[in-house]
Amino acid sequence: MIADHHFAVDLRSDTVTRPTAQMRIAMAHAEVGDDVNDGDPTVQRLQHRVATLLGKEAALYFPSGTMANLTALLLHTRPGTEVLIDVNGHAVHWDMAGSAALAGIAYRLVTPSGLVANAIDVKRAMRPHDHYGIRASLVWLENTHNAAGGVITSLGELRALHNLAREAGLPTHLDGARLWNASIATGVSLADFSACADTVMVSFSKGLGAPVGAALVGSAADMSLADEIRKRLGGGMRQSGIIAAGALYGLEHHMERLEDDHAAARVFANIVNGVGGARVVAPDTNIVMIDLPVPVADDVVTACEKLGVKVSAWTPSRVRAVTHLDAPAHLVERAAACVAVALLASQS
Ligand SMILES: *Cc1c(COP(=O)(O)O)cnc(C)c1O
């Protein structure tokens, strides 16, 4: 009944979306130039649009969020210093240790008292000023927080974190790969969130459905330095207006619909929560984390796949499902029923 041969939905990540027909048309018709040489007009339009949306002086287009985040590290820190970051931060686990290998920094891992580290948690992790402790160079924030389950840090909390950093004389970087989702879910403007950090990374290839790219935003002076760092890292891209056009299209057409992903995630969570003892982190946005009573995430993933649903094993006892543009609500609901079947099968 549930598994028919035509049913397949991929909820491993919101990065799996493919450009829509309309987005491909926009890309095919993009006006382009040599961005490393004298600028690509479509990239410049994208950068201007993103800087305006986020209320910063300048923006720079990047091949990936990982490179934009690394650039922020290289911009704000010096080797031998430490960066205060939530222990579950995306950059801690998924940047291939670029922070250590390429920026020469240490992470000062902050243990969150709730789902995501707050200002009190970060303050607790700050070392006293003396000649023995490692010098801090940056406070790193993430909103929405991926590993916590797409969790939103409220504007009030973000301001408290920013104030704490400022009082300690530290700059702040916000990993906002899914800041769009936080803004749509709360109604807080991107610019208000963005004002809580010196630099912000936003991704186009997640919920907005573009094929490639991210942006770093900040002051004109910082983005001028970031431009040099990007080139040093091999991130100069010539006629990149082709892909930037996809990002622009996503910004214009796929932002408001993120609310659909959030609604689908809530429906999914309600169906799965409690089945076979599984506990779901109530989703703020489009990420659903399913905690299993026993470490059989791989079995659950395999069982789901047989039923036509792809999800990922986040940890041995946690399964992640992410809603997105290519997973319409009715398929997400069917997928949830399959996951429920898999949860029961994997734990019996
Ligand atoms: C995806 C993601 C990144 C990295 O972006 P890529 O474009 O995949 O390199 C960084 N931070 C968070 C929170 C992410 O979800």
> Which tens digit of pLDDT belongs to each residue from 173-231?
999 999 999 999 999 999 999 999 999 999 999 999 999 999 999 999 999 999 999 99
| Ligand 1 atom having least distance to the Cα of 67 | 9
pTM: 0.97
| Ligand 1 atom having least distance to the Cα of 64 | 7
In the chain, CATH 3.40.640.10 sits at 31-253
Homologous superfamily in CATH for domain 9-17+257-346:
Aspartate Aminotransferase, domain 1 (3.90.1150.10)
Residue 6 has a pLDDT of 63
What is the CA(148)–ligand 1 centre distance, in A?
Answer: 14
What is the CA(206)–ligand 1 centre distance, in A?
Answer: 8
Residue 2 has pLDDT above 90, yes or no: no
Nearest alpha carbon, ligand 1 atom 6: 65
> Which of the listed residues 16, 88, 143, 206 should we mutate to test ligand 1's pocket, taking the one with most ligand atoms within 8 A of CB?
206
For the segment 159-164, the average pLDDT, to the nearest whole number, is 98
What amino acid is encoded at 251 in this protein?
L
Residue 84 has pLDDT above 70, yes or no: yes
- Who wins on pLDDT, 133 or 235? 235
> Which of the listed residues 71, 94, 151, 208 should we mutate to test ligand 1's pocket, taking the one with most ligand atoms within 8 A of CB?
94
What is the CA(346)–ligand 1 centre distance, in A?
Answer: 30
Residue 1 has pLDDT above 50, yes or no: no
What is the CA(163)–ligand 1 centre distance, in A?
Answer: 25
In the chain, CATH 3.90.1150.10 sits at 9-17+257-346
Residue 7 has a pLDDT of 78
Residue 55 has pLDDT above 50, yes or no: yes
Residue 5 has pLDDT above 80, yes or no: no
Residue 347 has a pLDDT of 73
What is the CA(278)–ligand 1 centre distance, in A?
Answer: 27
What is the CA(217)–ligand 1 centre distance, in A?
Answer: 15
Ligand 1: lining residues by beta carbon, under 6 Å? 64-66, 69, 90, 142, 146, 175, 177, 203, 205, 214
Over residues 7-19, the pLDDT tens digits come to 799 999 999 999 9
Nearest of 115, 14, 88, 17 to residue 322 by alpha carbon: 14
> Which of the listed residues 17, 93, 203 should we mutate to test ligand 1's pocket, taking the one with most ligand atoms within 8 A of CB?
203
Contacts of 59 (CB under 8 A, 6+ apart): 46, 47, 48, 50, 51, 215, 216, 217, 223
Mention the CATH class of domain 31-253: alpha beta
| Ligand 1 atom having least distance to the Cα of 206 | 1
> Which of the listed residues 14, 93, 146 should we mutate to test ligand 1's pocket, taking the one with most ligand atoms within 8 A of CB?
146
